[in-house]
Amino acid sequence: MSNNTSEPFAIITPLPQAHAWLRFGEIKPAGWIRAQMQRDLEQGFVGHLDELVPELIQKDNIYGADRLTKAAQTKDLGVISKETEWEVQFLWWNSETQSNWRDGFVRTAILLENSEYFDKAREYVELILATQDADGYLGIYAPDLRFNFDSENGELWAQASLFRVLLGYYEATNEARVLEAITKAVNVTMQAYPRGRSHPFTVKNDYAGVCHGLIFTDVLDRLYQLTKQEMYLDYALWLYSEYSEANLSAGDVRYVHLTDPNYRFLAHGVHTYEHLRSLLTAVYASGNPLLEKALTAYLEKLDLCLAPSGAPIGDEMIGGRQADASETGYEYCSIHELLDSYSHLLQKTGDLAWGDRIEWLLFNAGQGARHPNESAIAYLKTDNSYSMTGSLHSDDTVDPQNPQTRYKYSPVHQDVAVCCVPNAGRIYPYYVKSMWMRTSNGLIATLYGACELNTFVDDVAVHITEQTNYPFDLAISFAIHVARPVEFELAFRKPAWVSGCEVQTECEWKEENGSIKIHKRWQSEEKIVLRFQAEVKANEFRNEEYFLSYGALVFALPLKSHVKQGKDYPLEGFHDLYYFPEDSTTHVLSPIGRDLTPEQHPFNAENPWENAIALTQPQSSIRLLPLGGTTLRQTTFHQSEKGYGGSSTNVPNKARS
């Protein structure tokens, strides 16, 4: 503890974290979320990416027999590049592809309780544990390179992405030897880069791997939460201070930049949005008001980057721009990383407004960058999506030496990087794990969706079944079962967009701090129903445009197109898809009347995004769908002559830091 309030990295008084994560696996998906995750696992890229790109996953044992050595010169990553020297910088890249894909694969298999895929997950964990050296090292480098870098490397990044897989598996299975393996490996790294006596980020010619390495703080933060050993938080704070002192290519979240009121985010979007978690961990590890101010500054700078869907600029550099619904794209990696960072803000601050942001981001940008009915995602996507032909615009000039191929649907995207598809497989498991959290008084439903919760409160087993078609329907039913009577508080987030709320229960309840709270002694079987009401809203975007929302969903006008099939992959049914507009006049952002109403349809959990709900206009053919039900679309429209009003920001509300 320190009294040096002029030093931003001094530990003043560490802050208590408002909520606690439940152990991974205590919350399991149901309803349409489960159905979608099941398709992704059994028929889609989540369960089969290793078969789609076997050379990157099956044939490269980068954590074991194929660890990198000084003798390694290159790997075939499938990346289009004219510079061999450029490719060498990505020798660590398969570790990211493998570990991020495994993270989604393992967590999905656990949540779905799919025995076939869980057996594969267990087999993978056993193979990884077998690669652990006698001293505890787990990673991608042989002894001649390990912890001995003066240039671009993926040491901390490869470990962080791997240890997140193992942590999820440990939490779900409670296998102590897995946690022991993680802590032993982390301790090896902490000794190799001793706090205050080394500089892991001070290198020349850095690119992505070194900067990604800051996210080692994810592992440290979770280890602290599981073990209560403060050394992990202290080390995370030190890593952030070292990052802040280094002159890195992805340096948006350096303290000096955050405290500059004229500085706008410039760097690779994925780094900028994931590093929010490192900054947040440092804030809570130190309790330093200077870092708290830096966090506030980060969030103000972030708001400039957000499109109507909630997605942040990530195409791939932010470049000091403001988000534009037509011209600034977002990477799927950026969507996932920002969602994960929002969930950490929700957990640590307890501010439920972050729950609004998470739902908005996932149900609009996250779902809207997936193909509605194929196992494929967009590496890059825009809210106003007028073509998906590889380049941003269908008539863009193609550079044969460096073609833009990211604006298409693919189950792999190997011609750029196999990074977005793995992260698309992580995003729903990370959403599910954040749906409920533990408070000092009991439990809180932080995010909505059909699910089942099995946990303990005061050593009493508590089972809660949440039934809903949310966000397509705004009624949510909770059935609470306890093994024996137990007293605790059950709370439910009230979204900011709610125009009215009916609470159906025999219990006394109160509304407080954006939530509905019920504190009582719970008996064996009880039921609570929330019925949220919403209005169709016209939301102002950048003063000249507006977009339409209902509840947590943004709606868009689907545009007619024709599709061209591209590359086929080793498994039947997997291919790249390109969409060409049928009518170029759809680029005009003409206004749509304000008399749109929600039109509900019979719910089908297998395909809700195209069929469950639409906004329609009486006596016209206008029919707007949620972004997740579209390929090409128009999301923003010009303000009418008299003005459209609506909220002044492109997210549901400005959350507090």
Cβ proximity of 555 and 548 under 8 Å:
yes
Say whether pLDDT at 345 is over 50: yes
| Residue, of 646 and 20, whose pLDDT is higher | 20
119-132 residue pLDDT tens: 999 999 999 999 99
Nearest to 567 by CA among 390, 425, 352: 390
Which pLDDT does position 131 carry in this prediction? 98
Which pLDDT does position 655 carry in this prediction? 39
Which pLDDT does position 583 carry in this prediction? 77
Q: What confidence category does residue 474 fall into, taking pLDDT thresholds of 50, 70 and 90?
A: very high
- How is 201-215 classified by DSSP, letter by letter? T--SS--HHHHHGGG
Which pLDDT does position 267 carry in this prediction? 98
Which pLDDT does position 90 carry in this prediction? 56
412-458 residue pLDDT tens: 999 999 999 999 999 999 999 999 999 999 999 999 999 999 999 99
Average pLDDT over residues 218-247: 98
Rounded-to-integer distance, Cα 335 and Cα 315, Å: 12
Q: What interhelical angle do 420-433 and 45-52 show, nearest 10?
A: 150
Which pLDDT does position 642 carry in this prediction? 36
Which pLDDT does position 45 carry in this prediction? 98
**Mean pLDDT, the chain, whole residue set:** 93
- How is 217-280 classified by DSSP, letter by letter? HHHHHHHHHHH--THHHHHHHHHHHHHHHS--SS-TTSHHHHT-TT----SBHHHHHHHHHHHH
Nearest to 437 by CA among 512, 511, 337, 354: 354
Say whether pLDDT at 569 is over 60: yes
61-72 residue pLDDT tens: 999 999 998 877
Say whether pLDDT at 185 is over 80: yes
498-520 residue pLDDT tens: 999 999 999 999 999 999 999 99
Average pLDDT over residues 289-300: 98
Say whether pLDDT at 654 is over 60: no
Average pLDDT over residues 3-9: 74
All domains of the chain, ordered by start, with CATH? 1-21+251-433+538-657 (no CATH), 44-249 (no CATH), 438-533 (2.60.420)
| Residue, of 207 and 558, whose pLDDT is higher | 558
Structure tokens at 105: 């694969």
Which pLDDT does position 70 carry in this prediction? 82
Average pLDDT over residues 100-116: 98
Q: pLDDT above 70 covers what percent of the chain?
A: 92
Structure tokens at 141: 């480098």
576-597 residue pLDDT tens: 999 999 976 544 456 676 689 9
Say whether pLDDT at 235 is over 50: yes
Say whether pLDDT at 79 is over 80: no
Assessment of whether the complete model's pTM goes beyond 0.85: yes
Q: What confidence category does residue 85 fall into, taking pLDDT thresholds of 50, 70 and 90?
A: very low
Average pLDDT over residues 305-323: 98
Rounded-to-integer distance, Cα 146 and Cα 189, Å: 10
Paired residues of 580 in beta bridges: 562
Number of helices and strands (H, E) in the chain? 19, 26
536-558 residue pLDDT tens: 999 999 878 999 999 999 999 99
Say whether pLDDT at 310 is over 90: yes
Say whether pLDDT at 657 is over 80: no
| Residue, of 607 and 88, whose pLDDT is higher | 607
Which pLDDT does position 298 carry in this prediction? 98
List alpha helices for 319-419, DSSP H.
332-349, 353-360, 367-368
Which pLDDT does position 125 carry in this prediction? 98
Dihedral, CA of residue 314, residue 319, residue 320 and residue 324, to nearest 10: -50
43-52 residue pLDDT tens: 999 999 999 9
